[in-house]
Amino acid sequence: MNLLLKNIAKHVTLTEQEEERVLLLTELQTFKAKTILLKEGDICTQSYFVIKGILRSYTRDENAVEHVVNFACAEWWMADMYSYLSQRPGQLFIEVNEDAEVIVLTRENQEKLYSEVPKLERFFRILIENSLIANQRRLINNLTFTAEARYDLFTKKFHSILPYLPQKQIASYIGVTPEFFSRMKARLLKK
């Protein structure tokens, strides 16, 4: 359970009482693969800190084609940030890719934590900042790199979970069809 506390400790130092509060206001839960934690149109009332397993977020376009937005493995957070922050219906699905153990933090409890442990304002601000930076970088990468280069970056970012990801999901994340991805991989192996 203290993986979350360890993670917080990387950015701010809490007293034992403050750590106590964090433990009390979060909850460890386990989910089987294929469980859907959030659907399009839902309001995202909780965020997930992954201890074990893999989560995945995606949207469906007007042709019902799924587009993977992100994966989260151990020590990553997952939520539909738009919906979570605005408390309005979002467009993301969040699904369990591999049997998972996650720490659940409700929006409500996060607000409580903000007032009871103000240092956490700083912690979450840093999280959001990092998330923003990662997003901007990915946007730039999508604009400037070819599918092959994007795949290369992907393998670096997610190498620890690579063998667990179906390649149609990887294809979707980097923005190509599964057919093209399959061909591309075959081409890369020849080199």
Partner DNA sequence: ATAATTTCATAATCTAGGTCAAGTGCTCTT
Partner DNA sequence: AAGAGCACTTGACCTAGATTATGAAATTAT
Q: Is 142 an interacting residue with respect to DNA (CB under 7 A)?
A: no
Q: Is 175 an interacting residue with respect to DNA (CB under 7 A)?
A: yes
- Taking CB under 8 A as the criterion, the residue among 9, 33, 128, 188 binding its own copies is 128
Crossing angle for the helix pair 119-144 and 107-116, nearest 10 degrees? Answer: 130
Q: What does the alpha-carbon distance between residue 46 and residue 48 come to, in Å, rounded to a whole number?
A: 7
- Taking CB under 8 A as the criterion, the residue among 2, 175, 177, 180 binding its own copies is 175
Q: Is 165 an interacting residue with respect to its own copies (CB under 8 A)?
A: no
Name residues contacting its own copies, limited to 18-47 (CB under 8 A): none
Q: Least Å distance between CB 52 and its own copies?
A: 25
User: Closer to DNA at the Cβ: 30 or 146?
Assistant: 146
**DSSP 8-state secondary structure symbol assigned to residue 91:** S
* 27 strand-pairing partners: 104
- Taking CB under 8 A as the criterion, the residue among 132, 166, 187, 188 binding its own copies is 132
Hey, how many other C-beta atoms are within 10 angstroms of the C-beta on 116?
A: 15
Q: Is 125 an interacting residue with respect to its own copies (CB under 8 A)?
A: yes
C-alpha Rg value of the chain to the nearest Å: 18
Q: Do the Cβ atoms of 90 and 82 come closer than 8 Å? A: yes
**Binding-site residue total for DNA (CB under 7 A)?**
18
Q: Least Å distance between CB 67 and DNA?
A: 11
Q: Is 143 an interacting residue with respect to its own copies (CB under 8 A)?
A: yes
Q: What does the alpha-carbon distance between residue 158 and residue 165 come to, in Å, rounded to a whole number?
A: 10
**DSSP 8-state secondary structure symbol assigned to residue 15:** P
Per partner kind, with CB cut-offs from 5 to 8 A, the member of its own copies, DNA, none near residue 167 is: DNA
Q: What does the alpha-carbon distance between residue 140 and residue 72 come to, in Å, rounded to a whole number?
A: 21
